[in-house]
């Protein structure tokens, strides 16, 4: 099977950390990804809610193909294309509002990504977590149909309505070296479910990392298991995602 491999980052390649900037990349992961990319003829990309520039810092010195901000940004082989913060004046106003109104809350983080914004409450007490979720819901409602709210693991993110990982993967599949291959996507969160469904619809394989209800057909328990699998594939093992455990 000639596959095109798409990998989420947080919770898939690396364990989720209490704060986004505290994520640790396992030594050797970059070498594994580079070796596997070579074996796949270049058909490997990171598909993430992070900005592409942040992924580049985590995976330096590699500059893998990547889709960032849930598909707002995309890079295939060269320059990154996508939206600039200045293209989103209404969102910028809501970012300022979120920063101001969340200031009295403890352990609530506003992650400003330019063309999207995420509110994290993983470390907050239950009362402040509830208030943080209410704030991000209110901002999404105020923005209307041009943006949408997607909820994940103790995070709510406002993104442009047209931005999904499903659209990003389909865009990759229209150009070399991805075209004509079978798409395979690994993800861990409910924000990945749209992409799981899309990949399956297109004849590919969706792999859920961790527990929880899913439309994916295959499952691995955690990022450590993902990394072990990728190391095996990079070292010459049989690349057969259809043989992974059923979800």
pLDDT in tens, the chain (247 residues): 799 999 999 999 999 988 888 999 999 999 999 999 999 999 999 999 888 999 999 999 999 999 998 888 899 987 777 767 888 899 999 999 999 999 999 999 999 988 889 999 999 999 999 999 999 999 999 999 899 998 988 999 998 888 889 999 999 999 999 999 999 999 998 889 999 999 999 999 999 999 999 999 999 999 999 999 999 999 999 999 999 999 9
- If asked whether residues 122 and 139 sit together in one domain, one would say yes
Write out the residue range of the structural domain in which residue 21 sits: 3-82+163-243
Domain stops at, among 136, 160, 184:
160
DSSP category for residue 180 = T
116 phi and psi, to 5 degrees? -155, 170
Is the domain of 65 the same as that of 182?
yes
Region at 53 (left for phi over 0; alpha for psi -120 to 50; beta for the rest): alpha
Tally: H helices and E strands in the chain: 7, 11
Alpha helices in the chain (DSSP H): 29-39, 52-58, 89-102, 126-143, 165-172, 193-201, 223-234
Nearest Cα to 46, choosing from 63, 66, 17?
66
The length of the chain in residues reads: 247
Residues 121 and 227 in one domain: no
Spatial separation of the C-alpha atoms in residues 137 and 157, rounded to whole Å: 9
Are residues 32 and 103 both part of a single domain? no
- CATH of residue 76's domain is 3.40.50.1000
- Residue identified by tokens 């979800």 is 247
Rg (CA), the chain: 18
CA atoms within 13 A on the CB side of 73: 26
Q: Tokens for 221?
A: 């328990």
pTM over the 0.75 mark: yes
Residues 156 and 169 in one domain: no
SS3 150: strand
Q: Please report, for residues 2, 8, 59, 73, 94, the alpha-carbon distance to residue 116 in angstroms, rounded to integers and kept in the order given.
A: 34, 17, 22, 11, 10
SS3 97: helix
Q: Which of 160, 183, 214 corresponds to the end of one domain?
A: 160
Give the number of other Cβ atoms within 10 Å of residue 146's Cβ: 11
Least Cα distance to 176 among 26, 40, 36 occurs for 40
Q: What pLDDT does 83 receive?
A: 65
If asked whether residues 108 and 153 sit together in one domain, one would say yes
220 and 168 share one domain = yes
Q: Which of 8, 56, 65, 188 is catalytic?
A: 8
Please report the pLDDT score of residue 229 as a whole number.
98
Residue 8 annotated among the catalytic residues of the structure: yes
* Residue 167 and residue 153 in one domain: no
Give the chain's domain count.
2
Asked if 60 and 156 sit in the same domain, the reply is no
- Rounded CA-CA distance 71/47 in Å is 8
**Cα–Cα distance, 127 to 123 (Å, whole number):** 11
């Amino acid at each position: 099977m000639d596959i095109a491999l798409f990998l989420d980052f947080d919770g898939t390649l690396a364990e989720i950390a209490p704060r986004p900037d505290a994520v640790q990349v396992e030594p050797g992961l970059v070498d594994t990804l580079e070796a596997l990319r070579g074996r796949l003829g270049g058909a490997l990309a990171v598909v993430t809610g992070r900005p592409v520039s942040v992924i580049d810092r985590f995976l330096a010195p590699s500059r893998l193909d990547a889709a960032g901000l849930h598909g707002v940004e995309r890079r295939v082989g060269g320059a990154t294309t996508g939206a600039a913060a200045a293209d989103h004046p209404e969102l910028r106003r809501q970012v300022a509002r979120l920063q101001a109104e969340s200031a009295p809350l403890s352990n609530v983080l506003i992650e400003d990504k330019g063309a999207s914004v995420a509110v994290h409450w993983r470390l907050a007490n239950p009362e402040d977590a509830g208030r943080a979720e209410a704030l991000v819901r209110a901002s999404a409602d105020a923005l209307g149909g041009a943006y949408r709210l997607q909820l994940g693991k103790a995070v709510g993110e406002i993104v442009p309505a047209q931005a999904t990982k499903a659209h990003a993967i389909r865009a990759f599949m229209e150009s070399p070296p991805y075209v004509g291959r079978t798409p395979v996507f690994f993800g861990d969160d409910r924000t990945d479910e749209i992409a799981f469904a899309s990949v399956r619809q297109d004849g590919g394989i969706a792999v859920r990392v961790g527990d929880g209800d899913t439309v994916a057909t295959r499952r691995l328990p955690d990022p450590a298991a993902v990394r072990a699998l990728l190391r095996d594939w990079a070292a010459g093992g049989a690349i057969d995602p259809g043989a992974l455990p059923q979800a």
